[in-house]
Amino acid sequence: MTGLWQLAEIRAKEESGATMITMLFFLFCLGSLLSLLLFSEQADFLEMNVQHTADLVTKGARAAGLWEYTDTDGETQSRLYATSQEAEQADAEVIRGAREEAAILWRLNKSSLESRAAGVSAVHQKGERAYLYRQGIYHLQVEVEQRIPVFWEELDVKIARVSQSGVYD
């Protein structure tokens, strides 16, 4: 009888060791899954913040620099002016030039991106293309680089978002 109890004790100790290894394996898998989910959510939040900032700048710039007028045929036309000086030369009534307003809005809003990111850059009007202003369109591309922790290291994430506001019939 004592031999049977000793055999049961040995098996219980073996089972305990196997259970510990299995439990550690599943804890590692669960930690890995949570780390990937956190990475995904941080990247999504950054992408949403970048898109929101780009939309805010383009809509504000378009609203400030847009001038609607009636042409000789009696049709309503829209024109976006880059600067207040350009609008004054054309006798247009605008609040401020689109590029001037975009610069102000970008300066005021980029700090929220810079506080989380390693690098932030913006390209206005695809490099200041005049045809976009004539069409009443303001275009902005924002690129953000950030380091997001995953497991025991950090990954470099680069997010580029585009926003375009215009007057469309």
117-158 pLDDT tens trace: 888 988 888 877 887 887 888 889 999 998 887 777 888 889
In a domain, 18, yes or no: no
What is the per-residue pLDDT for 16?
Answer: 61
In a domain, 39, yes or no: no
Domains held by the chain: number: 1
Distance CA 68, CA 77 (A): 6
Sign of the torsion formed by the C-alpha atoms of 37, 38, 41 and 46: negative
In a domain, 3, yes or no: no
By the 10 Å C-beta count (0-12 exposed, 13-18 middle, 19+ buried), 164 is classed as middle
Q: What is the pTM of this model?
A: 0.75
In a domain, 19, yes or no: no
Is 80 in contact with 137 (CB distance < 8 Å)? yes
Could you tell me the residue range of the domain that residue 108 belongs to?
44-166
pLDDT surpassing 90 at residue 75 = no
**Of 6-10, 17-21, 100-104, 115-119, where does the model show the most confidence?**
100-104
Distance CA 158, CA 42 (A): 12
In a domain, 52, yes or no: yes
In a domain, 80, yes or no: yes
Sign of the torsion formed by the C-alpha atoms of 147, 149, 153 and 158: negative
**E strands along the chain, which residues?**
66-70, 76-80, 119-124, 137-150, 153-166
Is 140 in contact with 120 (CB distance < 8 Å)? no
pLDDT surpassing 70 at residue 116 = yes
In a domain, 108, yes or no: yes
